[in-house]
Amino acid sequence: MTRRLFRILAALGLAASLCGFALPAHAEKRVALVIGNNDYRNVPKLLKAVNDARTMGDTLKQLGFSVMVAENQSRQQFSETLLAFDRAIEPGDTAFFFYAGHGFEIAGQNYLLPTDVPAATEGQEELVRDASILADRIVERLQNKKARTSILVFDACRNNPFERTGTRAVAGGGGLAPMTQLPEGVFSVFSAGPRQTALDRLSNDDANPNSVFTRTFAKELLQPGENLVQVAQRTRRLVSEMADTIKHRQVPVYFDQMVDDVFLSGLAKDAARPADPPPQKLAALPPVSVPRVPREETANAPIASFSRHNGGWSVVFSFADPTLGISWRMAGNGDFRETGFIDTLDPRTRKRMPNPSIELPSDAAAGTIEVRYVDPAGDMQGPFPVRFDPEAALIRDQRKILDMTATNWLSFREFNGLLVYYTHLVSYRCAIREVRIGIDTAVPNQLLKMPGCDMRDPSAIGAGMPLYMKLAPATQFVSVELTYRDGSVSEIKSFRSATRSNN
């Protein structure tokens, strides 16, 4: 079967190495495509992209993936390889796409460059678009195939490949733009942040065959009991620390639109393994706690939102179907408690609506909330587990507030000169890793020092905290860019001093 598939794909013009690619008949299998491009004809060649693809292929095989490894792809070969990948994916599968090579951002869209991309110059952006692969289109293809989990990893944040001495380069970034608008079920990782370059090596004596990112990421993927977020976070920290040793800034970023935790190398460390699993069954999303949420689509499992306030935590549960009563408890901790009712009638049941919210103390520890409900027939459903991670919930809540109140990030005031206040950013600093500003420039080029986050009282503004800075009276505007705790980067916002508030 493998030899026959190899001949079929070779007949399509794939100058690729196809390694261990098979098509299991059962659903929820794991399939992967890894591509490495070194031998560019018209732009600078790369040294390690092919090795990076081979290493990732070997790593993913160890994790139970059926893997296709493709090397030095022209535009036509790249397209044919993606078609073969499409055919391998069935609804419910876990799909993994890895690309190492040149990437380029034009007008906020990311393009993966095949080996025959032309040597374009200023004003020839359309040539690059037509000759390259749009990264967003790969996401769309995986969505169209109804993959349950889609993981995309790009080790392509290198210098502008179109720069030439004596000519003006194509307008665009030297790396890739953030992919912040991902659909549900998609997780993407970039080897470096915006306007950063990814290191192939740490020094001339660094003989490792892989880039700094890939050597780290591949190793972290094999750590048992780590979910994708933990893998990405550990990779980010380790790569950043290695880059710091040579005074280089490289902070990998990830974008997470997963509903559940995804474990590629074993179960969560605190999860019970199911007894006698079916042989050769590759679960895309192993259970993370007991009891498990029912997997039927009709299950009315709740969605929880967490909000931090001065008194503690508010947790609001949302149910798709009507409920006659809601109760909850912390897993393994006492009896279930009713949430009570609110003074509103549910038009679907013509009964008082159960209170969908509960309160937790400010020092509540991480754990699992078990929720159950009474359905319209009077039957008890559940319990359903809801994970509570105070730090993650705080960061998510504060980031949502920052996104919704972007016009309030800065304010101006005249008091013995021109002052710019960033009190709003300080109030929600726990969601922020870094703030950069630019004074009378659209490029934020200065680091704004922020006070540390105190999880016990995250919104508190203590005495002596810096809340403003003094500007030259002639300052026209200030640009701001936030790097969030998850590594993603905000849009650059500009605030004009002409609209300053005197409050």
DSSP category for residue 141:
H
Copy the structure tokens of residue 371: 């929720």
CB 226 within 8 A of CB 267: no
CB 213 within 8 A of CB 192: yes
pLDDT at residue 175, rounded to an integer: 62
Query: CB neighbours of 219 closer than 8 A, spacing ≥ 6?
Result: none
Buried b (16+ CB within 10 A) or exposed e, 473-491: eeeebbbbbbbbbbbbbbe
pLDDT at residue 300, rounded to an integer: 63
What is the spatial distance between Cα 90 and Cα 25, in angstroms, rounded to a whole number? 10
CA 359 to chain centre: 29
Q: Give the rounded percent of residues in the chain with a pLDDT score beyond 90.
A: 39
What is the spatial distance between Cα 367 and Cα 385, in angstroms, rounded to a whole number? 10
Dihedral angle over CA of 427, 430, 433, 435, nearest 10: 0
Q: How far is CA 215 from CA 156, 286, 328, 380, in A?
A: 14, 26, 44, 50
CB 272 within 8 A of CB 290: yes
- Please write the tens of the pLDDT for every residue from 133-155: 999 899 999 999 999 999 999 99
Give the helix ranges, DSSP H, for 305-453: 390-404, 423-427
Copy the structure tokens of residue 318: 């949302």
pLDDT at residue 285, rounded to an integer: 36
Please choose, from the candidates 356, 352, 351, the residue with its C-alpha nearest in 3D space to the C-alpha of residue 326. Answer: 356
pTM exceeds 0.75, yes or no: no
Copy the structure tokens of residue 139: 């996401």
Buried b (16+ CB within 10 A) or exposed e, 119-147: bbeeeebebbeebbbebeebbebbeebeb
pLDDT at residue 162, rounded to an integer: 65
pLDDT at residue 129, rounded to an integer: 85
What is the spatial distance between Cα 237 and Cα 217, in angstroms, rounded to a whole number? 11
pLDDT at residue 211, rounded to an integer: 95
Please choose, from the candidates 317, 299, 303, 315, the residue with its C-alpha nearest in 3D space to the C-alpha of residue 375. Answer: 299
Q: What is the pLDDT along the chain (503 residues), one digit of tens a residue?
A: 444 444 434 444 444 444 434 443 444 799 999 999 999 999 889 999 999 999 999 999 999 999 999 999 999 999 999 999 999 999 999 999 999 999 888 777 889 999 999 987 766 778 888 889 999 899 999 999 999 999 999 998 766 676 654 433 344 555 677 776 788 899 999 998 877 888 999 998 899 999 999 999 999 999 988 899 999 999 999 999 999 999 998 999 888 888 777 889 865 444 444 444 443 333 333 333 333 333 333 456 788 889 888 788 899 998 888 899 999 999 878 889 999 999 888 888 888 999 999 999 988 888 899 999 998 888 888 888 988 888 888 888 888 889 889 888 999 988 888 999 999 999 898 889 889 999 988 888 888 888 888 877 887 787 778 888 899 989 999 999 988 887 778 888 889 886 444 33
